[in-house]
Amino acid sequence: MASTRRRKGDSRMIRYIVLGSWALFCLAPVLWFLSIGFRPRTEIITPQPIYFPTFSLDAWHMIWSDWPMAAYLRNSVLAILGSVVIDLVLAIPAAYSLARFRYRGREDIGFYILSTRMMAPAIVAIPIFFLFRNMGLLDTIWALMLIYAAINLSVVTWIIRSYMLDIPKELEDAARTDGASDLRILWEIIIPACLPGIITAGVIAAIFAINEFLFTLLIASTKNAYTMSVALANFTGGSDGVIYNAIALVAFLAFVPVFVVVVAIQKHLSRGLTMGAVKG
Amino acid sequence: MARIELSGIQKRWGAVWGVRDVNIDIADEELIVFLGPSGCGKTTTMRMIAGLEDPTEGEVRMDGEVMNDIDARDRDVAMVFQGYALYPNMSIYENIRFPLRMRDVPKSEHDRLVREAADMVELGDFLDRKPGALSGGQRQRAALARAIVRQPQVFLMDEPLSNLDAKLRQAMRVQIKHLQRQLKITTVYVTHDQIEAMTLADRIVIMEGGLIQQIGTPDEIYSDPANTFVAGFIGAPPMNLIEGRIQSGTFVSDGITLPGTGITDRDSVTLGVRPEDCSVADSGHLAGQVYGVEPTGDQTFLTLRIGARLIEVKADRDYRSDLDVTETVAFDPGRLYFFDTGSGQRIR
């Protein structure tokens, strides 16, 4: 008995070591960023290794005092939230239709939606610039919301559709015989049942949006619409050269909100809400 | 309470036939069971009554009114599904209340109706739970409560017990029959389980290949089967079907000679005899070697081998035997069935 117990303890220890190393490996870039961000500029660019780094808030003060970082942060958050809302409002009914109703050209429409993702963004960059200029939306958050939503709509639709396909058809039949209309079924049965999928799709859309660079650079020209991702570019040019510690801090600031959101909703990111609906 | 008529119902998906020709008149307050193997069209027929499928041809009428163009949600039917189909995000209370909300039943009535329905299926203590926190039997009772809460014109039950274990199934069967009698609601019940069909039904509709094979009371189906399909489908173990021919009124097959059948001579005839109408006797109609003995407690089934054929016989409950012992079997001459081998139809 004693030997079995010891072996179990050993295997648990190994598990912790493996998982701990993996966690360290995944978190290393974040820690590295923090270490760069809170060191003086001179120390970052020396080729010799530094074993006892100096702590410095220079870069931190600089990004808030020399740059309108609060405006960038606000623009990012508003544009991303807006685009996710637009995506979900459009994608949920579209996904339901693609998942459940039979009509001519359904597969083609599905493929068409997905194909918007296959195009290199640069191809449509110029037309989109003129489109927004004519609409008077250049350098506004509204334009960012629309373009982020357009970029992510296909992915969001397809993720939600795949979750909806997993919902047993019996649930809808039951709701229909209980007297529910198609819209009531979507609202009261389907959306709650595929909530994990909707949340997953929303998070993925938000991550894509926060990383978007090309269209943002095209649309934004002042702090009215500059986002974190474009702000980063401000630290690579100009008379000061590449300001690595400021870049590291801005990148970290852009990372934190996504990290917080993902940790907060991680239990919804796994499937399992349909458990108990049908025998499983 | 409603009378349902199906006339000339067909269902086809492209080249695939679901239902070929179904004509049934279901009386008010009747409990009718559609019985057949999977793919026979029984569930499709039920779904057409519910309005979840449109018939390709034919008419569905309720109380004389043609329902073909009426949407499922406007037909006053309630359905219980094989997989229960409880809404996973709602509590049991909200599940049972859902049809009341959808059908604009006054809000003040909801609580009373939900609790009455839950009490009827003894689920009153579980109203706060989510479906995932209930056992299979409780979930099925919750599905039943959701169906009975608004007192529909028609109940449709699609294999509601097939996910439950045997003991629970028996208890639920009694409960469903009791509820149906109490509420006096016309009920269509689909199953592939002949015991469920026999015990529940006022009438059984036996289906195969999208066609009705026979409609009748359980007694009629059991003791007066219309063809070899019905004969072989009903009864456990099933009826013995022995192919042979009639010569001068005598049925002749390998190892069997059965005089006095009263049937004119023909070359291909199938004799049907139920295991329970056979007995081990000192002298009888056929002799074979013991192939297997299956005691079930209250009865014992004996399988005999005659040439290449196996015959099932119900023996005394304490009958025991070694293998390969020769036994003689006598048939009950009043309970023999003859069928035309080619068409499978009964010869009367």
Please write the tens of the pLDDT for every residue from B243-258: 999 998 899 888 888 8
Interface residue B84 vs chain A (CB under 8 A): yes
Is the distance from CB of B79 to CB of B158 less than 8 angstroms?
Answer: yes
Query: What residues of A are in contact with residue B103 (Cβ under 8 Å)?
Result: 178-179
The mean predicted confidence, pLDDT, of chain B is 92
The domains of chain A are located at: 67-275
pLDDT at residue A234, as a whole number: 77
Strand arrangement, sheet containing B186-191: B65-66, B57-62, B4-13, B16-26, B211-216, B203-208, B31-35, B186-191, B154-158, B77-80
Region A233-246 average pLDDT: 78
Mean pLDDT score, B74-85 = 92
Q: Model confidence at A278, in pLDDT bands (50, 70, 90)?
A: very low
pLDDT over 50 at B213, yes or no = yes
- What are the chain B neighbours of A186 within 8 Å (beta carbons)? none
List of domains in chain B:
4-230 (3.40.50.300), 238-347 (2.40.50.140)
Task: Indicate the residue of A176, A180, A275 with minimum beta-carbon distance to B88.
Answer: A275
pLDDT at residue number A5:
59
Q: Is the pLDDT of residue B132 over 60?
A: yes
Question: With 50 as the cut, is the pLDDT of residue A23 above it?
Answer: yes
**Cβ–Cβ contact B52 with A under 8 A:** yes
Query: So what's the pLDDT on residue A240?
Result: 74
| Interface list for A 187-206 with B (CB within 8 A) | 188-189, 192-193, 195
Instruction: Please report the ipTM that was assigned to this predicted complex.
Output: 0.85
CA distance B60 to B225: 27
Confidence of residue A43 (pLDDT cuts 50, 70, 90): confident
pLDDT the model gives residue B284? 84
B130-139 average pLDDT score: 92
Q: How many Cα atoms within 13 Å fall on the side-chain side of residue A197?
A: 24
What is the assigned CATH class of domain A67-275? mainly alpha
- Report how many Cβ contacts below 8 Å link chain A to chain B: 93
CB contacts, 8 Å: B88 with chain A? 192-193, 273-277
Q: Which of A119, A154, A143 is nearest to A227 (CA)?
A: A143
Give contacts of A179 with chain B, Cβ < 8 Å: 73-74, 99, 102-103
Mean of the per-residue pLDDT values of chain A? 85
- Mean pLDDT (whole number) for A186-201: 90
pLDDT average, residue stretch A102-108: 86
Is B156 within 8 Å of B46 (Cβ atoms)? yes
